[in-house]
Structure 1
Amino acid sequence: MTPARAKRAIGVGKAVAPLLAPYALAVAGLARSRWDEHRARKLGVSPDQLSTYSGRGGALHARISRAAEALVELDSADAHATGAARRFALDTRPRLADLAVAVRAAEQMPTPRRRTAYRAISGELDQIETALLIHLGIRT
């Protein structure tokens, strides 16, 4: 590359950049919205709620809130609101609250301990979700 070619490239860049900038911004915005939709789909929430579940424990917080919503539906649904289902909902709500506190506490831990805590919390959530499905009449 010679100095003359470099000057010519800079001159062309100065002329073309203002014309291409709006298109580049539009493409960047579209890419960002697609990425946000993908992350929201992975967490099982709407893209509007994505900022609520950001951070290291965001996925676990999303699972906990979805399980809490399912407990409310289980407790209020006439078809599934048996005595055992209501007892399960009453017993599980404090457990979910404890798990949410554990996730927040684990966010401050060093990485190896945080990963271990997250695995334990995820195991507890797996058990809760399996029991919830059973109470909803879905066999796993």
Structure 2
Amino acid sequence: MAEAARAARKPFTAARAKRMIGVSKAVAPLLAPYALAAAGVARSRWDAYRAGRLGVEPGQLSQYTGPGGALHARLSRIAEALQELETGTGSRGTEDDRAFVAQVRPRLADLAIAVRAAGQMPTPRRRTAYRAIGGELDRVEVELLTRLGVIG
């Protein structure tokens, strides 16, 4: 410990700089593969986390990037659920459900256009537009979940 304190007090000289560069040249090739592997693991975990938050597979993550990515992911998931409701078996797939799907699909298309258009707006207006779109998606999701029997 006394050596470390003494080394910290030594002035930084050209000889010390050359010695540190030489050591780093010898050690860097040994540590590089481990650093790359750690970076790859960290990146895959981060992608899995982001994909989980959006409700998509990690492979689909690149489709939902940018400020409106989360809304686009919600729109696609609702569209998939509508398809399931329309073609469902048993209590699902009734005429009333098909009418609901026919009514909501054009609305989802309009909301997708609105998300893309809002992406070009200045930040305060974009946030306001995204909040409005999110509110509309919330209403559609509640109705969809009611029809699927998830909520009463």
Under a length normalisation based on structure 1, what TM-score does the superposition of the two structures give? Answer: 0.97
Aligned counterpart for 2:115 among listed residues 90, 103, 117: 103
Gaps of 5+ in 2: 1-11
Indicate the residue corresponding to 2:62 in structure 1. 51
Give percent identity, aligned residues only: 68
- Give how far 1:4 is off: 2.0
Q: Report the count of equivalent residues.
A: 140
For residues 109-138 of structure 1, what are the alpha-carbon distances to aligned partners after superposition, in whole Å with 9 as ceiling and x for unaligned? 000000000000000000000000011112
Quick one: which amino acid aligns to residue 114 of structure 1? Answer: R
CA distance in 2, matches of 1:25, 1:82: 54
CA RMSD of aligned residues (A): 0.9
Indicate the residue corresponding to 1:11 in structure 2. 22
User: Over alpha carbons, which structure has the higher Rg?
Assistant: 2
- Give how far 1:38 is off: 0.3
Under a length normalisation based on structure 2, what TM-score does the superposition of the two structures give? Answer: 0.90
Moved over 6 A (4+): none
CA distance in 1, matches of 2:144, 2:104: 9
CA distance in 1, matches of 2:43, 2:83: 34
CA distance in 2, matches of 1:41, 1:20: 32
- Give how far 1:3 is off: 2.3
Gaps of 5+ in 1: none
Indicate the residue corresponding to 1:126 in structure 2. 138
